[in-house]
Amino acid sequence: MRINALPSGNGFNFEISHAPEKSLARVGKISTPHGDIATPAFIPVGTKATVKAVLPETMKELGAQALLSNAYHLYLQPGPDVLDEAGGLARFMNWPGPTFTDSGGFQVLSLGVGFKKVLAMDAQTFRSDDVIAGNKERLAHVDDEGVTFKSHIDGSMHRFTPEVSMQVQHKIGADIIFAFDECTTLHNTRKYQEKALERTRLWGIRCLDEHQKLTLERSEKPYQALYGVIQGAQYEDLRKKAATDMAALRSTDPDAPIGFDGFGLGGALDKKTLGTILTWMNEILPAQKPRHLLGIGAPEDLFIGVENGIDTFDCVLASRIARTSAVYTMVGRNNLSNAINRRAFEPIDDECDCYTCTHYTKAYLHHVFRGKEIIAATLATIHNERFIVRLVDQMRAALISGDYFEFKEQFMGRYKHLSGQARD
Ligand SMILES: [Zn+2]
């Protein structure tokens, strides 16, 4: 049944085909100039225009529909001009499908302050606002105009503003790009959250203006869809305000004001309240526009996202833990380096259809991890990415067939919790 379509002549479109009752979940299709994405979908992360250790062809074979790279990293190296000259991100990295880029806001704001640990909910290590605002050691300074930061590569100084983020992301040329936002932590004060939220709203208007200008100037390039980012930390009124504001935001062009093509749900999210916070936002955001949950990818969180109205997810966790020999299985996480795997002449997971599981044993993987062979990262990453991509594919199939909650119960009954939220 076709419920909602957003007509569009620019190559970007989102269409919902199923919206089961009793939840905010939906099944749909995002169309981009580089191809379609059946949603809900997990989008693997290739931070620097590469999913570490795995060829793009292999990512395609294992079922990845799109990849997400990072504007901050690509801005520093090789530089947006190189990507522009190469014909855009997808062509540059030989990826035959849609791409996303993160705005760079999260990365520049998190420089040198251990932000990733905060996102991993390591509450003891941090206190305060001053994670962003007062630490003498910090490598990033935020003001109303933008963020000044020090490159983690060579220490050189740079400045990102909403306009710069749009210029960089237009040159990189991904199909879906994100507005520049101020990402806060759960430890900022309420007052600071309010200030950051208003800043993100004003930056959203500047992003829309610059995006509109660049889209017109570069009309020969494939259309890029711009998603606004919803912040507001753990506060119900702030999350709802952000969702209301960002849904209504328009560029200042009096003749043809434009709004966002979709929305990114961001910020520090506590695992326990994830579902509730997503509901606050998704009950307000326009149903016909796609929603991306930034940096979330642990299996139990993916279920919560899907049933609370998320269409796409990205997370570096699957590939990052793979390189440390940690792999997902139907019964929880396994560490291939553990001695128990030395003579385990069986696949990582009997039920997995990935290339690694159909050709290699845990004993072999144990051996190559212990020997620090490069192939270890490749084989483990293939398995983990396939595991997560397939899990979301299975959720989509279960939503269509009407047995989503049975599928969830069956999966979670066997799976032991593995925590994680991670952006790169
Ligand atoms: Zn596998």
Task: Give pLDDT tens digits along the chain (424 positions).
Answer: 334 344 446 899 999 999 988 889 999 999 999 999 999 999 999 999 999 999 999 999 999 999 999 999 999 999 999 999 999 999 999 999 999 999 888 877 776 444 443 333 333 333 334 344 444 456 788 899 999 988 888 889 999 999 999 999 999 999 999 999 998 888 888 999 999 999 999 999 999 999 999 999 999 999 999 999 999 999 999 999 999 999 999 999 999 999 999 999 998 788 889 999 999 999 999 999 999 999 999 999 999 999 999 999 999 999 999 999 999 999 999 999 999 999 999 999 999 999 999 999 999 999 999 999 999 999 999 999 999 999 999 999 999 999 999 999 999 999 975 444 455 5
Cα of 65 to ligand 1 centre, how many Å? Answer: 18
Separation CA 169–CA 104 (nearest Å): 9
Kindly state the tokens that stand for 280: 């606050």
Cα of 115 to ligand 1 centre, how many Å? Answer: 31
pLDDT score of 421: 47
pTM over 0.85: yes
Residue 309, CB-side half-sphere exposure with 13 Å CA sphere:
25
- Residues flanking ion ligand 1, Cβ below 5 Å: 352, 354, 356-357, 383
Residue 420, by phi and psi: left (phi above 0), alpha (psi -120 to 50) or beta? left
Separation CA 188–CA 356 (nearest Å): 43
pLDDT score of 99: 98
Query: Read out DSSP for 322-387?
Result: HTTTEEEETTEEEETTSGGGTT--S-S-TT--SHHHHH--HHHHHHHHHTT-HHHHHHHHHHHHHH
pLDDT score of 130: 37
Longest dimension (CA), the chain: 70
Cα-Cα-Cα-Cα torsion 212, 214, 220, 222, nearest 10 degrees, comes to -70
Cα of 308 to ligand 1 centre, how many Å? Answer: 28
Cα of 151 to ligand 1 centre, how many Å? Answer: 37
pLDDT score of 423: 55
Separation CA 59–CA 378 (nearest Å): 11
User: 226 pairs with which residues across the strands?
Assistant: 177
- Asked if 65 contacts 97 with a C-beta cutoff of 8 angstroms, the reply is yes
Q: Starting at the earlier edge strand, list the strands of the sheet with 27-32.
A: 4-5, 13-18, 27-32, 35-39
Cα of 387 to ligand 1 centre, how many Å? Answer: 6
Give the residue from 316, 311, 232, 317 showing the smallest Cα distance to 276. Answer: 232
- Asked if 379 contacts 367 with a C-beta cutoff of 8 angstroms, the reply is no
Catalytically active residues are 102, 314
Cα of 328 to ligand 1 centre, how many Å? Answer: 9
Q: Amino acid identity, residue 279? A: T
pLDDT score of 104: 83
Kindly state the tokens that stand for 340: 């128990």
Cα of 306 to ligand 1 centre, how many Å? Answer: 23
147-150 and 176-178 strand pairing = unpaired
pLDDT score of 118: 37
Cα of 67 to ligand 1 centre, how many Å? Answer: 20
pLDDT score of 184: 84
pLDDT score of 417: 55
Cα of 101 to ligand 1 centre, how many Å? Answer: 27
Q: Which long-range contacts (CB under 8 A, 24 or more apart) does 398-403 make?
A: 399/18, 399/20, 399/25, 399/26, 399/27, 399/40, 399/306, 400/18, 400/27, 402/20
Cα of 272 to ligand 1 centre, how many Å? Answer: 29
Can you say how many angstroms the Cα of residue 141 is from the centroid of all Cα atoms in its chain?
Answer: 24
